[in-house]
Structure 1
Amino acid sequence: MFAKALRVRASSAVKGSDRRKLRAEVAAAFPDLSPEQLAEFIPNKEELNVIKIYSHKGEAVTVYTNSKNPILFEVEKALYPTVYTLWAFPDLLPAFATWPPVLQKLAGGADLMLPGVAVPSSGFPRVERGTLCAVTLLGNRAPVAVGVANMSTTEMLAAGMKGKGFAILHTYMDYLWELGDKSSPPTLAPSVADPAVKESAEDEEEQEPVISCTADPLQQVGIADLSLKEQDGCARVMGKEELNENGAPERPGDDSAEVQQEAEDSRTPQEQMDALFSQCFFHALKCKVKKSDLPLLTSTFLRSHMFSCCPAGQQLDIKKSSYKKFSKFLQCMQHQKVLQVKELSKGVESIVEVDWKHPDIKAFTVPEGFSSATAAQESKTEDRGQSYHAPEIIPLYGVSAKMTPLFQESGHRKGSILSSSEVRNIIINYVKANELVDETNKNFVKVNAILCDCLLDKSEQDEITNLKWDDLLSRCFERLQPLYQVTFFGQEPIVRKGNIEPISITIAQRSSNKKVTVIKNLELYGLDPQCVANILQQRVQASATITPVPGTKDRVQVQIQGNQIHHLAKMLLEEYQLPRKYIQGLEKAPKPGRKK
């Protein structure tokens, strides 16, 4: 169902009354959940959002997210859990196991055929046709797919395990999974040791004991090879550690390395991830970040600096740490006075100050295999190769109180969020349903009482009886609340009020009749002002600085000597592929043949 790209329509927070209603619906759909599990499933205080999406086939789907991870999706008033939810509640649905190579087919949109289902010696769970089920991989209880049984257990066995067993709705690695943090399945021990599973695993690779947050060899073969965008670094590293514990051949090393390995194994996976984050954090500050780079977007710091400091074979995953959010990790570092973080523009945090004399930074030693020079060079190379993806910006409209009578016939209330095409269709359908098209001239629409109250000013209500179609639609858009949805690459869509401010480019006069180019609002489009300033400085060989926006406390602008609008236009329009309508001031470029 989600094997191809989705179209996101709107996103909004779930209010208290709707949260209680959703909790009741979940309790009815999954009666085996205890009150404690239900409170964890639909928490009272954590961030809970609802997203309206359309599948590639045009199916309308409602998705509920908790801390940006999808936990439920609703199709035709039926609730289904996602793989993120099933990893937290693995026994929520009856489960059927398959072999790791089958996962690739399921993620591509195929249904699960009965020959692909592993028959356990303890027998299948008893299900009826239409029962919602989970699909797992041999040796791991963590579900990787959600589907509906096409047959009862009795019918499956009577059919000789042939035919379509399950219609798959959602899988690990599909586009619904990509809406979340893209984490990999944990390794969960089977609730009952199954000799058939053990025998199958030994055929693939030497069987290893199941330990929390370790990777099963079978899972490694399937999932690591199938990963679309993320590498299961934790799984690969932990898998190697377990092989060492089981007596598998180890790489030559001294006694100290073995002692260190044993000490690392004694820590919980969460403690190991905390230590890895701390190591990459101090490594990035010591070797990659310079004072001239500040202020530095926290997202850029994580993506371009910390990730490149991660040792080979491991992967940073904030969800597996005790912090859960990168902002909380930075707050902890700020509390220790290592750095200072500020929100320079609404919703965008930046590192504005670093104490390079802090004892933790001075005491940090670069791990083997890294050096300050090579790390800095890798950082520069990575920054240059870092591809920028222009955000997708969609104008939306909210139904205001005054416009509610016009939209309530189509089932929308005050605060409903609509796209421009949806607004047009609703207005057109309303006019046709109420037979308001002028019989003598179909280019005009007769104004009834509701249109009069919603679209006409008081001075016009006694004079205007007909409106042209264009005038009717334009008046409607003017009286709706402007909103916009912005989707940054790899992130969930964000809906904000008002109209997005364009990137503002102006020419200012300085002392001695010198001109400077001033650029504002870069952060709104996911651009790092310091990065833009550095690139422009290199290209035009002129000094560039970051200064506060006059009249504000927490916003910055780029200033560069001379009229550099030609270079800016090439960068923003051609390289970054930003639409021209979101850039203001390009007409102020110097005319050919004139002095800048």
Structure 2
Amino acid sequence: MFSRAFRVRSNTAIKGSDRRKLRADVAAAFPNLSAEQLTEFIPNKEELNVIKIYSHKGEAVTVYTTSKNPILFEVERVLYPTVYTLWVYPDLLPAFSTWPPVLQKLAGGADLMLPGVVVPSSGFPQVEQGTLCAVTLLGNRAPVAVGVATMSTAEMLAAGMKGKGFAVLHTYLDHLWEYGDKSSPPTLAPLVTDSAEEESTGGEREPEEQEPGSSTTDPLQQVDIGDLSLKETLVGKEELSEDRAAETAQDASTEVQQEAEDSRTPQEQMDALLSQCFFHALKCKVRKSELPLLTSTFLRSHMFSCCPAGQQLDIKKSSYKKLSKFLQCMQQQKVLQVKELSKGVESIVEVDWKHPEVRAFAVPEGFASASAAQESRSEGREQAYHAPEIIPLYGVSTKMVPLFQESGHKKGSILSSSEVRTIIINYVKANELVDETNKNFVKVNAILCDCLLDKAEQDEVSSLKWDELLSRCLERLQPLHQVTFHGQEPLVRKGNIEPIDISIAQRSANKKVTIIKNLELYGLDPQAVANLLQQKVQASATIAPVPGAKDRLQVQIQGNQIHHLAKMLLEEYQLPRKYIQGLEKAPKLGRKK
């Protein structure tokens, strides 16, 4: 559920009455929590926030956080604990163990299959289909995943430990875990002796030959991925089929081979690649004349082109997670300086090319010379550009709160147009406001009257058409928009997005110039656009601050160049026409004789 990034809709502090209700819901959902543990879990005075989010599949999820860590999430009125909670209360849910290499697959969104479940000598916990369960790694009782059993314990054994055993909802290392302090699982000793589990996975003696409580020197007592061998995984208890053992051995041997090739973790490898591409781009790609340079352009047009063949630069897999955090680190080392020239858009404004790390960087073999890379820079930039995804959103205003509070939304809640439509339709149906004589009309009650009608209309209008009802509602909500640039996290801004503005101005001697504004809002570098346009039309182009607008740049080029601009923005940059204003000012072409 949280294997991909989610969108936060609202984040508010919980009220006292809601806190008491939550504590009662937790007590009902997890009856094995004592009164003292319950008070510790849902504290009376510590800050407790409720966050409304949408998963990448569009599922509405409520998350409860304390001390900045998510402790619970709720889906369709069912409460689930997070791994942060289970590390404090490891016995809150019945637990099933799996092999360490399986964790990476679970964090990637996979469910837990029964061949990957370790069968202990003491037997499985007795659960029914639909029971909420925890998943642990062999040798550590600290849970790393939360899932729902897809069959009962008896059905698992009857199926020969084949098929899907648990539908996984949340794991250590997923995006919900990243929303907290990103701490690692504690090391908790299993309740049963290690020797009992070793017998179920790799011991050569039968369980009845081992006395309870006796010690063992089995190598699996200290569990390590690197210690899993083909011999240890093929010898198992009778309940484990040969297919399951062979599958586990193959996963383990693959993991060992990968570790032998590079002792560094994948995150450390990605950090090294990120640093290499960064210094390569600064040394060979960026020129002083290009500054200020949008950070998105720097990543897209310069850093990506410095990535060695056969490798892929993915900042999300690095320890920084975002380009902005990496650049902040480089700024602290005084390699460069980054400023927010326009709201929400950062640019590199200064680079220290004499910095020891820049001067010491050696360009890897196999790359073309710096001069050749500079010559192909403009062409590569245009091919790499991706138009941003722009989604209109709406914020609940003070006047509209009475209409939306029944659906659990408060002032400032952010909604899409489809969500607004669904909420309004549900409200009308719940309050039986559909006109019985004509279902195309909706009767206006007191709340609709206060929220949607002007004072002059309140005594005259008693019903509205469906489309008028929805359009009035959208007009009275606060306009917002979400912009998602390629390879970056979504950015929510207030108001409607300003279109790229193209205008024609008159200069001395009856000369005309074309002026382009708001390029930065669409991830376009004004300097890069000016350079490309100058090459296309062979006319002088300059960059200047926008009059009356702080930290905004405009491109000015001689002549009426709207035809060339339209072709570049619509065809090469693939920007929708609705986001470009002024194309109608293009000069009319004369008739051919």
**8 Å Cα contact 1:137-1:143 kept in structure 2:** yes
Q: 1:80 to 1:366 in 2, by over 3 A?
A: farther
**8 Å Cα contact 2:478-2:495 kept in structure 1:** yes
- Which one of the candidate residues 537, 545, 549 is aligned to 1:548? 545
Structure 1 partner of 2:206: none
The separation in 2 between residues aligned to 1:87 and 1:522, in whole angstroms, is 48
Query: Partner letter of residue 392 of structure 1?
Result: E
1:273-422 to 2 correspondences below 5 Å: 277-309=274-306, 317=315, 320-321=318-319, 326-370=323-367, 372-373=369-370, 376=373, 380=377, 383-384=380-381, 386-422=383-419
**Is 1:203–2:203 an aligned residue pair?**
no
Q: State the Cα distance separating 1:517 from its structure 2 match.
A: 2.3
Q: State the Cα distance separating 1:287 from its structure 2 match.
A: 1.1
SS in 1 for 2:575: coil
Structure 2 partner of 1:461: 458
Q: State the Cα distance separating 1:343 from its structure 2 match.
A: 0.7
SS in 2 for 1:161: coil
- Which one of the candidate residues 231, 236, 240 is aligned to 2:261? 240
**8 Å Cα contact 2:315-2:323 kept in structure 1:** no
Q: TM-score, normalised by structure 2?
A: 0.68
Q: State the Cα distance separating 1:377 from its structure 2 match.
A: 6.0
Structure 2 partner of 1:574: 571
1:13-52 to 2 correspondences below 5 Å: 13-17=10-14, 50-52=52-54
Q: Give per-residue Cα distances to partners, 1:206-255, cap 9 Å, x unaligned.
A: 9xxxxxxxxx996698789xxxxxxxxxx95x64244xxxxxxxxxxxxx
Q: 1:342 to 1:131 in 2, by over 3 A?
A: same
Q: State the Cα distance separating 1:82 from its structure 2 match.
A: 7.7
The separation in 2 between residues aligned to 1:71 and 1:371, in whole angstroms, is 51
SS in 2 for 1:593: coil
Q: Identity over aligned residues, as a percent?
A: 69
Structure 1 partner of 2:476: 479
Q: TM-score, normalised by structure 1?
A: 0.68
SS in 1 for 2:590: coil
Q: 1:593 to 1:318 in 2, by over 3 A?
A: same
Q: State the Cα distance separating 1:113 from its structure 2 match.
A: 4.3
The separation in 1 between residues aligned to 2:122 and 2:344, in whole angstroms, is 52
Give the unaligned 5+ runs of structure 2. Answer: 203-218, 221-226, 234-247
Structure 2 partner of 1:255: none
SS in 1 for 2:415: strand
Query: Partner letter of residue 55 of structure 1?
Result: K
**8 Å Cα contact 2:102-2:116 kept in structure 1:** no
SS in 1 for 2:588: coil
**8 Å Cα contact 1:49-1:64 kept in structure 2:** yes
Q: State the Cα distance separating 1:345 from its structure 2 match.
A: 1.4
Structure 1 partner of 2:116: 117
Q: What is the root-mean-square deviation of aligned Cα atoms in Å?
A: 5.7
Structure 1 partner of 2:77: 77
Q: State the Cα distance separating 1:346 from its structure 2 match.
A: 0.8
Q: Give per-residue Cα distances to partners, 1:466-485, cap 9 Å, x unaligned.
A: 55555444333322222223
Query: Partner letter of residue 538 of structure 1?
Result: Q
**8 Å Cα contact 2:480-2:496 kept in structure 1:** yes
Structure 1 partner of 2:57: 55
Query: Partner letter of residue 128 of structure 1?
Result: V
Q: 1:591 to 1:178 in 2, by over 3 A?
A: farther
The separation in 1 between residues aligned to 2:232 and 2:84, in whole angstroms, is 28
**8 Å Cα contact 1:100-1:137 kept in structure 2:** no
The separation in 2 between residues aligned to 1:446 and 1:61, in whole angstroms, is 32
Q: 1:334 to 1:117 in 2, by over 3 A?
A: closer
**8 Å Cα contact 1:113-1:166 kept in structure 2:** yes
Q: 1:270 to 1:560 in 2, by over 3 A?
A: same
SS in 1 for 2:458: coil
Give the unaligned 5+ runs of structure 1. Answer: 207-215, 225-234, 243-264
Number of aligned residues: 534
The separation in 2 between residues aligned to 1:98 and 1:550, in whole angstroms, is 63
Query: Partner letter of residue 585 of structure 1?
Result: G
